Structure 1
């Protein structure tokens, strides 16, 4: 069995570890519908995700052609309240993720999450999916007061997970740029919310979770 040269494998959440696109899209469209604005397709809303709930809504409003800071302030609590009640109606792990995580943990690798989703959504979602016990550190978008691509939340993720060499998986420039800023190795997943994984400049690209362990075993030391 080949050795994995990392102590920690870190994951982004939305679009990397879990497919939450249907629930996020439903939250955005519910919010837009309350003020009679045009709704968006799921694939369009996927591209709005990455910098937290408020920015997701801001992007949706701009795409609807009716953005103002005042409207964003008015509708952000509407979205958050609705999403809080529908966190896991359809959200699921990506295929192969559970098995990859189990193998990594079985080989002594610590797992961690660093997401720009606020803790008030992240922690209940992980508990509902029975994932929380698998992680040595969970960092949300508001945990340290800064979000990816800033290095600080990733540094805190590594610290809370016990330190050591870490590789970070993500699907957006926030994830890969954040890993670079934090001095971490990075893997861009091609199955996430952003379909330009080859343009993100990651150290490697992952097309399916079934290949994650093999990818890490073959990592250049």
Structure 2
């Protein structure tokens, strides 16, 4: 069976923190409130936009009763500007090209809503690398529930999988799915690498193909 690499999106394949911060700033300004720092918004990333907005509510004078409206406003604004400042991490495109040439099936499992995630990878010229994408609203559950990872594995032929991500949520997802986890150390993790369960760790995408080859059966 063909081996599969499943990737997280934000903080793994793409550095989207600046666009998320810009959207958060516009939302707060529209509500007549002070903005939050880039580092604060970066610390809120990892569980999807509804959770990011929840954390903004907890950190500011935004009102919990407005949650549904705020999430909708954030999503509408973010989707209109999602690639203004966002870019793939260094080496991502070359690495994905190499992995595809080596015969791997590639997919994405993210807590970002599916349509915005699909549009971002399309706008960044990455969509042709991937055979499938599961977003935070694709199924009835989202990470760290393993359903998305299991769904992708099953729908892509049932081959052995490595999950590649950057965060505590990604690590927990891999543990729950019973899959090896490759931790990208340069993303949005909140804990030291030593405290995040992982099978391998890397800081440069050019190292990923050899790590994948060691973790999975070499493609034919």
Match of 1:163 among 158, 179, 182: 158
Structure 2 contact 2–157 (Cα < 8 Å) conserved? no
Match of 1:13 among 4, 9, 13: 9
How many positions carry a matched residue from both structures? 216
Provide closer, same or farther for how the CA distance between residues 84 and 54 of structure 1 changes in structure 2, counting only shifts above 3 A: same
1:76-104: CA deviations, max 9, x gaps? 11111111100111111100111111111
> Displacement, 1:140?
0.5
Structure 2 counterpart SS, 1:88:
coil
Q: 1: CA distance between counterparts of 2:134 and 2:19? A: 21
Q: 2: CA distance between counterparts of 1:122 and 1:98? A: 17
Match of 1:132 in 2: 127
Unaligned runs of 5+ in 2: none
> Displacement, 1:120?
2.3
Q: Which moved more, 1:164-173 or 1:72-81?
A: 72-81
Provide closer, same or farther for how the CA distance between residues 74 and 99 of structure 1 changes in structure 2, counting only shifts above 3 A: same
Unaligned runs of 5+ in 1: none
Q: 2: CA distance between counterparts of 1:57 and 1:73? A: 10
Using structure 2 for the length normalisation, give the TM-score: 0.92
Q: How does 1:54-73 map to 2 (within 5 A)?
A: 54-64=50-60, 66-73=61-68
Structure 2 counterpart SS, 1:191:
coil
Match of 1:28 in 2: 24
Match of 2:40 in 1: 44
Structure 1 contact 166–184 (Cα < 8 Å) conserved? yes
Match of 2:198 in 1: 202
Structure 2 contact 162–215 (Cα < 8 Å) conserved? no
Match of 1:191 in 2: 186
Q: 1: CA distance between counterparts of 2:121 and 2:216? A: 32
1:162-194: CA deviations, max 9, x gaps? 221000011112111111111111011111012
Using structure 1 for the length normalisation, give the TM-score: 0.92
> Displacement, 1:45?
0.7
* Alignment RMSD: 1.7
Provide closer, same or farther for how the CA distance between residues 202 and 6 of structure 1 changes in structure 2, counting only shifts above 3 A: farther
Structure 2 counterpart SS, 1:85:
helix
Match of 1:98 in 2: 93
Q: 2: CA distance between counterparts of 1:47 and 1:41? A: 10
Q: Does 1:81 align with 2:65?
A: no
> Displacement, 1:195?
4.6
